[in-house]
Amino acid sequence: MISKIANRLHIRLSTALQRYCGLYLYRVLVRRLDPAPREALAAGIRFAPLEEAELRAHCADRRLELTWSSAQRSLARGDICVGAFDGDILAGYAWFAFGATPESGGVWVDVDSQASYTYRHFVRPSHRGRRLAAGLLHAADAPSAQRGCSRCVTLIYTYNRASIRASERSGARTVGYAACLRLFGRALSWRSPGARRERLRFFRPQSNFRPFSLAMRRLASMLAATTSRN
C-alpha cells in the first residue's frame, strides 16, 4: 500500500515538473546485443524490420500513433523500425537510431557511437501483456551489430514502471540516471557517472553550428594574415 502511494506521488510530481518547469527525469538502461538467432519470444508473433513501403502503408492506421511525416524524418536519419506482426496485423513497433535523435521539445539526444538508441515503442492495447517488447528489442540486434553496435541504450521516464519492467525483461539493466531542464530555449542537463560512460548528452541542434563558426573565424584570421604578408 505504501509503495503504491509513493509511486502515485512520484508520477504526480514528475509530470508536474515536466509540465510546469520543463524538467524531465530519466532512467538510463543498457542492454548488450545478442544477434544470434532466437526462438519466437511471443507465440504466434513474427518480428521483422519494416521496409519503407510497408511502413508507409501502416502509417494509414491512426490507431498505431505513427505518422508518415515523422517516419520519413526518422528514415532520412538512417533509423530503422522493427515491427511485431500477428498475421497481417502490425501489433507493435520500436524505432532504433544510430546517431543524434530528436527527443522532445526541440531537444535532441545522442549516445556513444558503438551503441544504438531505441525510442518510440508502441504495442496495440489488444496485444499488451504478451511481452512483445522483448521480441521487438531483440529483432534489431542483428542489424544494429552490422552497424558496429555492441549495446542498446534507452531513456525511460523514472515514473514509467511498466516500460522499465518491459525493458528489464528484455535483458536491459539500469546504468544511471539523467535530467534535462528546458529553460529559455536552452537544454541544461545532469547525468550520473553511468550515463556519462554511455556518452549520453542532450543538446539543441543550433549548438552544432558553434564548431563551424569557430572554424570560419579561424579561416578568416588565416586569410587576413596571408593578405597582410602580401
Measured from the Cβ of residue 91, the count of other Cβ atoms closer than 10 Å reads: 25
- pLDDT for the residue numbered 229: 37
Does position 131 have pLDDT exceeding 80, yes or no? yes
85, 100, 209, 223 from 93: Cα distances, Å: 9, 20, 34, 53
Residues 220, 157: Cα–Cα separation, whole Å: 45
AA letter at 33:
L
Number of domains in the chain: 1
pLDDT-wise least confident of 65-69, 84-88, 90-94, 134-138: 134-138
- pLDDT for the residue numbered 18: 86
Work out the average pLDDT over 204-229. Answer: 50
Residues 42, 60: Cα–Cα separation, whole Å: 26
- pLDDT for the residue numbered 55: 95
Under the banding of pLDDT at 50, 70 and 90, the label for residue 19 is: confident
Residues 109, 81: Cα–Cα separation, whole Å: 18
Instruction: Please state, rounded to an integer, the average pLDDT across all residues of the chain.
Output: 87
Percent of the chain with pLDDT over 90: 65
Furthest-apart CA pair in the chain: how many Å?
82
Bridge partner residues of 98 (DSSP) = none
Which residue reads 534489431 in cell numbers?
Answer: 140
Q: Residue 82: which residues within 8 A CB-CB, separation 6 or more? A: 47, 48, 49, 50, 93, 94, 95, 96, 136, 139, 140
What DSSP element (H or E) covers 115? strand 115-123
CA angle 117, 94, 185 (to 5 degrees): 55
Domain of 147: which CATH number?
Answer: 3.40.630.30
Q: For residue 4, what is its C-alpha cell? A: 503504491
- pLDDT for the residue numbered 58: 96
pLDDT digits (tens, 9 = 90+) for 143-169: 999 999 999 999 999 999 989 998 998
Does position 208 have pLDDT exceeding 70, yes or no? no
Q: Residue 80: which residues within 8 A CB-CB, separation 6 or more? A: 49, 95, 96, 140, 143
Q: For residue 201, what is its C-alpha cell? A: 548528452
Does position 53 have pLDDT exceeding 80, yes or no? yes
AA letter at 120:
R
- pLDDT for the residue numbered 117: 98
pLDDT digits (tens, 9 = 90+) for 41-52: 667 899 999 999
Q: Residue 229: which residues within 8 A CB-CB, separation 6 or more? A: none
Does position 105 have pLDDT exceeding 90, yes or no? no
pTM above 0.75, yes or no: yes
Could you list the residue range(s) of the whole structural domain that residue 106 is in? 2-229
Residues 58, 93: Cα–Cα separation, whole Å: 11
Q: Which residue has the higher pLDDT, 28 or 40?
A: 28
- pLDDT for the residue numbered 209: 42
Residues 148, 78: Cα–Cα separation, whole Å: 14
